[in-house]
Amino acid sequence: AYDRGRRRGGGAPPSATDEHSRPASGIATIGRGRGRAGGTGHCGSVATPNVGGSAVPVRRSSRLSNPNVHAAADARDMPPPSPRPAALTASGARSALALLDQLALGYRHLCQYKCGEAIAVFQGLPLRQKQTGWVLNQIGRAYFERVQYADALRAFEQAETVEPHRLAGMEVHSTILWHLKREVPLCYLAKRALDFERCSAHACCVVGNCFSLQKEHDTALKFFQRAIQLQPDFAYAHTLSGHEYSANDDFEKAMACYRNAIRYDDRHYNAWYGLGNIYYRQEKYEYAEHHLGKALEINPSSSPLYCYLGMALHANQKTQKALEMLSMAISIDQYNPLARFQKAHVLISLEEYEAALTELTQLVEMAPKEGTVFFSLGKVYKKLGQNSQAMLNLNRALDLSPKDAQQIKAAILHLEKEDNAEEEEEL
């Protein structure tokens, strides 16, 4: 499940997306006060000619004739005075600072990939603050980094209900749906993002993930490149482009994308993982070990990163270190099937068949329809001399993995020959 979004996992790191959220569309207008022209009120006494020859004074303004009386009337008409702001500031400032301190602590834990601590801090917020788009996004990111996709999806769906037009975080939401193979919800999310803001890097990443899930890698690349044009410093868009190039086996362009992502955000561990994965596929295990180690330095709580580093170490003939890394991956996430499978293979290479059998037996419970697991079980039972169990598991592997039929049939045929040879010896 982690594979390329393991790669997508965590994603990039949490601090990168919020800092580059696109401002709301539209041009901000600054209100300008409209000055009125000078008043035309009467001031003083103006004499006008009279027919009889005597001057008749024009009536003065009533306010000027008796200012004290009208000042009292104005005072009665005024609203009651507001409470003294100093009295409110003391208690209000303490509450605001306490809230900001808790939010900052949770965000700090998340930036350091201490996801369990971050979730605990955010869950401890008052309900009014916890049920906000930003906090729910951070909770979703924390679950996402822990590869708990169901919980992460639940948090993002709540954030969507509270703040439906929030673009920041949509790319992570879409990556979760990509991992869960949820095509219909991902298509709906992509349409909603485009309807709201077509010229958003986040929206383009959502649409790119949608096409990537449908194996349309070239179309996905167009949208990821569009996201980069809209926001060149968006590290996650560069990483997603690298993943698509890697899926097309265009390693040179993929590595260029990963390096661009690191140039904009050197703590974007997903890009370090991407480089390590390419070096692993090219059988350059020293380079793979270095880059995966860099990713692990940034995110030391990632079970998939420990798993892939263990695979690189095992391929580089560093068996004991590989076993340590794979054991660490399982201790962080006991439901990581790839880590258990790779650990079993390391144990087989060390001829520790009983320990390998324990790992594979537990793995069968997690992946009961995985033919390669039963094939490995068959080989282990054969090494332990339990040929009947070996034959049973090899036949199960043949039923579940018809594409590997040739290899499995060869193992079954070899096992049958050994059984026949043993029977002849007994006779």
Structure tokens at 77: 């008409």
Tens of pLDDT along 245-257? 999 999 999 999 9
Tens of pLDDT along 233-246? 999 999 999 999 99
Among 381, 375, 382, 377, residue whose Cα is nearest residue 405: 375
Tens of pLDDT along 209-220? 999 999 999 999
Among 288, 334, 326, residue whose Cα is nearest residue 307: 326
Lowest mean pLDDT among 72-76, 205-209, 215-219: 72-76
Distances (CA, A) of 98 to 51, 88, 91, 93, 125: 80, 16, 11, 8, 10
Tens of pLDDT along 120-172? 999 999 999 999 999 999 999 999 999 999 999 999 999 999 999 899 999 99
How does the average pLDDT of the chain come out, rounded?
83
Please report which residue ranges of 282-404 form alpha helices under DSSP H.
285-298, 303-315, 319-332, 337-349, 353-366, 371-383, 387-400
**pLDDT value at 265 more than 50:** yes
pLDDT of residue 38: 41
**Mean pLDDT of the region 24-45:** 38
**pLDDT value at 266 more than 80:** yes
**pLDDT value at 419 more than 60:** yes
Tens of pLDDT along 79-106? 666 555 555 577 778 888 999 999 999 9
pLDDT of residue 47: 40
Structure tokens at 304: 């998939």
pLDDT of residue 13: 43
Angle (CA) 83-86-89 rounded to 5° is 105
Distances (CA, A) of 66 to 59, 70, 71, 233, 303: 13, 7, 9, 69, 85
Among 117, 160, 102, residue whose Cα is nearest residue 136: 160
**pLDDT value at 311 more than 90:** yes
Question: Across the strands, what pairs with 47?
Answer: 57
Contact assessment for residue 182 and residue 163, using Cβ atoms and an 8 Å cutoff: no
Tens of pLDDT along 363-410? 999 989 999 999 999 999 999 989 889 999 999 999 998 888 888 888
**pLDDT value at 78 more than 70:** no
**pLDDT value at 52 more than 90:** no
Distance (Å, whole) CA 243 – CA 271 = 9
pLDDT of residue 40: 40
- Whether pTM > 0.95 for this model: the answer is no
pLDDT of residue 423: 59
